[in-house]
Amino acid sequence: MVPVVSSGSSISAIHASSRSAAQRQPGQPRHTRLAVRSQAVASPPATRGTSSGSAKLGSKETQKPTAIITGASSGLGLNAAKALAATGDWHVVMAVRDYSKAARMARELGIPRDSYSILHLDLASLDSVRDFVESFRASGRRLDALVANAAVYLPTAKEPTPTADGFELSVGTNHLAHFLLVNLLLEDLKAAPKKSPLPAPRLVIVGSITGNTNTLAGNVPPKADLGDLSGLEAGVKVGQASPMIDGGEFDGAKAYKDSKLCNMLTVRELHRRYHDSTGITFSSLYPGCIASSGLFRSHYGLFKTLFPLFQKYITKGYVSEEEAGKRLAQVISDPALGKSGVYWSWNNDTGAFENEVSGEVADGEKGRRLWEVSERLVGLA
Ligand code: LMG
Ligand code: NDP
Ligand code: PMR
């Protein structure tokens, strides 16, 4: 392992300000102020920190390679940031909704201070996604890997919650906001300097076994199923026809699994559209069941007690946050995992392998339609 070398930059927080109506792109819905207030969590003061600025960082050719990880303030994302920073070869941009939490967690895990920066990103708002991209570009950092990791899971919700743009929260956060983010940052990845530990830039979107109905876990009801995409076509808007992609009744657990299915379909469609022309490696993964992570924070207390035991002793699918973080870091940076279009999984004894996906994830026609409808909803088409 290469020793940790100081990149000489300090921790920076660039805070995105809200976009005015004049800056909004055509077709972009106005912020619903109420929804923004209910979603935006503990933002840092706008005055805290500034962009490091390109002058201080030096040219992109001489910078360390940079990975952006969304949701790096807990669980898988935080531990992947730690593992990547520990190599000494990478700079990690923690793209988070809660600056203070990210700063605290990074300190607690002992991530070297000069190996990361923290940038505000609230995926429950498409304006915040656009502002994040601007702030990242203003920082002058190169981009070698982009990791869409953040997610919310609302299994006990009786009613859907809207994002700032009115989308159902799980599909809006986990799929639509990431869809916009990866599309906007594709050109930055493409422009990654050739001199890198990686032969090609990487784009990773975290998937899951529960979005794949070719497994036992994927068959626990309610199952992922995008149906005819009629709900998505209508905008998965809360308070309108249906907040679910398939046009059905709201079900928080299903919405999460549907969003993971979308994540895996998006990776395959990115690969089909852009791998040959850009050389970028597009990957998804199931890191194992991180049964004690924050993902289950809104589940019933009894579930939170029993679920880790069930996964540890019965299914044997349990994995610690630290181990899962190493797995994700491997997908970001291991030269052996450079093949594009793959859904990686792990065997406890033999390590990473290319896993099979379900029929619905492999459905190229569905992937294409999902892409086109998503493009329209996030204002790209
Ligand atoms: C939906 O329910 C909810 O409606 C929805 O809101 C959302 O939460 C969604 O996917 C999320 O789930 C789905 C339903 C599936 O699940 C349940 O309601 C059951 C919850 C089970 C919680 C998992 C924990 C299981 C704990 C088992 C006990 C473990 C003890 C560990 C001790 C280890 C000691 C060594 O429902 C179904 O699919 C139907 C399945 C019926 C449940 C059958 C239960 C089998 C579980 C197998 C293990 C039990 C074996 C116990 C043996 C003890 C061994 C000593
Ligand atoms: P955590 O809840 O620990 O991490 C999720 C992260 O997403 C948190 O850092 C959270 O921020 C962030 N996040 C949520 N909403 C937003 C938002 N609006 N804007 C920005 N960030 C947001 O869960 P995990 O680490 O377990 O989950 C990480 C990924 O792994 C997810 O994609 C999940 O689907 C996937 N996964 C998890 C499995 C598991 O068993 N846990 C299994 C398979 C896949 P904050 O810290 O502020 O709450
Ligand atoms: Mg599941 C057989 C193996 C297995 C694995 C690897 C998982 C992973 N689960 C398995 C089996 C079962 N689970 C069985 C037999 C049951 C019925 C008792 C079961 C139940 C269950 C519930 C209620 N499992 C769950 C839940 C959740 O609320 C979690 C979920 O679906 O979140 C969307 C979950 C999970 N099981 C997993 C994994 C990885 C999860 C976390 C979900 C994810 O992030 O995709």
| Burial class (CB within 10 angstroms; exposed 0-12, middle 13-18, buried 19+) of 250 | middle
Which ligand lies nearest the alpha carbon of 155? 1
Q: CA angle, 293 as apex, 289 and 298 as ends, to 5°?
A: 110
Domain boundaries, the chain: 65-377
Residues 6+ apart with CB under 8 A from 236: 167, 168, 171, 172, 242, 243, 244, 245, 377
Q: pLDDT of 156-202, one tens digit each?
A: 999 999 999 999 999 999 999 999 999 999 999 999 998 777 889 99
Q: Is 253 in the pocket of ligand 3 (CB under 6 A)?
A: yes
Query: How far, in Å, from the CA of 111 to the mean position of ligand 3?
Result: 31
Token digits of residue 42: 């503990």
Any idea of the CA torsion for 169, 174, 175, 176, to the nearest 10 degrees?
Answer: 50
270 pLDDT more than 90: yes
Q: What is the pLDDT of residue 78?
A: 98
**Cα–Cα distances in Å, from 54 out to 62, 101, 189, 295?**
12, 26, 17, 36
Q: What is the pLDDT of residue 50?
A: 35
Alpha-carbon gap, residue 266 to 366, rounded angstroms: 10
Query: How far, in Å, from the CA of 260 to the mean position of ligand 1?
Result: 21
Q: What is the pLDDT of residue 196?
A: 72
Q: Is 348 in the pocket of ligand 3 (CB under 6 A)?
A: no
**Cα–Cα distances in Å, from 236 out to 91, 122, 130, 268, 369?**
36, 19, 21, 22, 15
Token digits of residue 308: 């880790």
Best mutation site among 310, 313, 316 for ligand 1 pocket (most ligand atoms within 8 Å of CB)? 310
pLDDT tier at 56, thresholds 50, 70, 90: confident
Q: CA angle, 259 as apex, 255 and 261 as ends, to 5°?
A: 115
Neighbours of 41 (CB within 10 A): 11
For atom 41 of ligand 2, the residue with the nearest CA is 290
Place of tokens 């626990």: 220
Residue 318 DSSP symbol:
B
Question: What residue ranges in the chain does DSSP mark as E strands?
Answer: 13-14, 66-70, 91-96, 116-120, 145-148, 202-206, 281-285, 342-347, 351-354
Whether the Cβ atoms of residue 39 and residue 167 lie closer than 8 Å to each other: no
Q: Is 164 in the pocket of ligand 2 (CB under 6 A)?
A: no
pLDDT tier at 55, thresholds 50, 70, 90: low
**Angle separating helix axes 364-377 and 252-278, nearest 10 degrees:** 100
Residues 6+ apart with CB under 8 A from 23: none
- Which amino acid would we find at residue 193? P
Mean pLDDT (whole number) for 340-346: 98
Whether the Cβ atoms of residue 149 and residue 77 lie closer than 8 Å to each other: yes
Q: pLDDT of 75-134, one tens digit each?
A: 999 999 999 999 999 999 999 999 999 999 999 999 999 999 999 999 999 999 999 999
Name which of 100, 89, 147 is nearest 123 in CA terms: 147
Q: What is the ipTM of this complex?
A: 0.86
**CATH topology for 65-377?**
Rossmann fold (3.40.50)
Whether the Cβ atoms of residue 85 and residue 109 lie closer than 8 Å to each other: no
Q: Locate the ligand 3 atom nearest the alpha carbon of residue 153 and give its number.
A: 33
Share of the chain above pLDDT 90, in %: 82
**Cα–Cα distances in Å, from 133 out to 144, 183, 264, 327?**
15, 11, 23, 26
Q: CA angle, 351 as apex, 348 and 354 as ends, to 5°?
A: 115
Mean pLDDT (whole number) for 292-296: 97
Q: What is the DSSP string of 78-145?
A: HHHHHHHHHTSS-EEEEEES-HHHHHHHHHHTT--GGGEEEEE--TT-HHHHHHHHHHHHHHT---SE
The separation between CA 311 and the C-alpha centre of its own chain, rounded to angstroms, equals 24
Query: How far, in Å, from the CA of 19 to the mean position of ligand 3?
Result: 39
52 pLDDT more than 60: no
The overall average pLDDT reported for the chain is 88
| Burial class (CB within 10 angstroms; exposed 0-12, middle 13-18, buried 19+) of 191 | exposed
Alpha-carbon gap, residue 263 to 228, rounded angstroms: 17
Query: How far, in Å, from the CA of 207 to the mean position of ligand 3?
Result: 14
Whether the Cβ atoms of residue 97 and residue 41 lie closer than 8 Å to each other: yes
For atom 7 of ligand 2, the residue with the nearest CA is 150
Whether the Cβ atoms of residue 99 and residue 118 lie closer than 8 Å to each other: yes
